[in-house]
Amino acid sequence: MDTLDQKLVSSWFNAHSTVPSSYVQPPECRPGKLIATPGKKIPVVDLGGNDRADTVKHVLKASEEYGFFQVINHGVSKDLMDDILKIFKEFHAMPAKEKVNECYKDPNGSCKLYTSSENYTEGALQYWKDSLTHPCPPSGEYMEYWPQKPTGYREIVGKYTRELRKLGLKILELLCDGLELNPRYFSGGLSEKPTMLVHHYPPCPDPSLTLGLAKHRDPTLITILLQDDQVNGLQVLKDGEWVAVEPIPNAFVVNVGLLLQIISNGRLVGAEHRAVTNSSMARTSVAYFIYPSYESLIEPAQALVNGSTPPLYKSMTFAEFHKNFFHKGPKFEAELHS
């Protein structure tokens, strides 16, 4: 059996002139089946405006109609955004054995490098990517297990995640305004366990046959994604059509996760999305997942439920949600409804 360093797509992709059979998607899932619709764009929201009510309106509308939007003038410096993409590209360019060694310092596996999916199984359908993930709570816990290479990793990633926490809470407060919830509804346990997830998609010999990420909804409150602005790859399913999320320089992509769909009692959309590959350039994307503590109760907010608007979803702890989401996959979504 191959070791992880040998399984990484970045270790062997350039030795193949065709897509290995284990990476070939069934015909109905291939990117060639549903072509991204030209002309359609997800909304762009300017967070730097002076009219808060107008900003709330745009964030809420995008979250209700698309479940996706891009934000500009968000307060995170261009230099820091450039630095974080650079450090993750340098990480994925390191020798495979070195990458693996940097990611397995925690006996509990909080920091890990994997390929295809977290539940990698020999012989299963695979996805054209390598991924790095680790917790990044505001307490600084787990930082001792983060990679130390490339040089400056912990300093840059630490600074970036502190800035992303501020931005995440700001966006959640805007959504609270729009939903008429307490402005601090998400500032406690519901947002205290953020996680970094960095995907690296090497060039692919035939992008029409495979995917970087399958169609899915994120198991988060919200996800804040930094795209490589030189390479397309992210697509959102809207009204049965795939819409390409065109990279905008110095913008973040924000998407509503399944947890926020539940808490909003279905008012906000946890949109389905996927990642496609390309034949000429590697693509790196940096996702900041806002997760609750495992003890947090996930249920429709009481303020959004009444006699005429009953709860659409069952109540459960995030620990229950997380376990079922990763064990049952998309089938679990049908079980969420009350």
CA 23 vs. chain centroid, Å, equals 21
Q: Which two tokens stand for residue 205?
A: 């010999």
Contact in structure between 116 and 126 (CB atoms under 8 Å): yes
Q: What DSSP string runs through 308-335?
A: SS---B--EEHHHHHHHHHHHTTHHHHH
Exposure on the CB side of residue 221, measured as CA atoms within 13 A = 31
Q: For 211-223, how does the pLDDT look when each residue is reduced to its tens digit (9 = 90+)?
A: 999 999 999 999 9
Cis before 203 (ω within 30): no
Q: For 284-332, how does the pLDDT look when each residue is reduced to its tens digit (9 = 90+)?
A: 999 999 999 999 999 999 999 998 899 999 999 999 999 998 888 777 8
| 305 phi and psi angles, rounded to 5 deg | -120, 135
Per-residue pLDDT of the chain (338 residues; tens, 9 = 90+): 589 999 999 999 987 889 999 999 999 999 975 555 666 789 999 999 889 999 999 999 999 999 999 999 999 999 999 999 999 999 999 999 999 999 988 888 899 999 988 776 777 899 999 999 999 998 888 999 999 999 999 999 999 999 999 999 999 999 999 999 999 999 889 999 999 999 999 999 999 999 999 999 999 999 999 999 889 999 999 988 899 999 999 999 999 999 999 999 999 999 999 999 999 999 999 999 999 999 999 999 999 999 889 999 999 999 999 999 888 877 788 888 87
Nearby residues of 41 by Cβ (< 8 Å), 6 or more positions away:
243, 246
Q: Is residue 72 left, alpha or beta, with left meaning phi > 0 and alpha meaning psi from -120 to 50?
A: beta
Q: What DSSP string runs through 213-264?
A: EEEE--SSSEEEEEPPTT---EEEEETTEEEE----TT-EEEEE-HHHHHHT
Of 146, 64, 135, 36, the residue nearest 102 (C-alpha) = 146
List of domains in the chain: 4-335 (2.60.120.330)
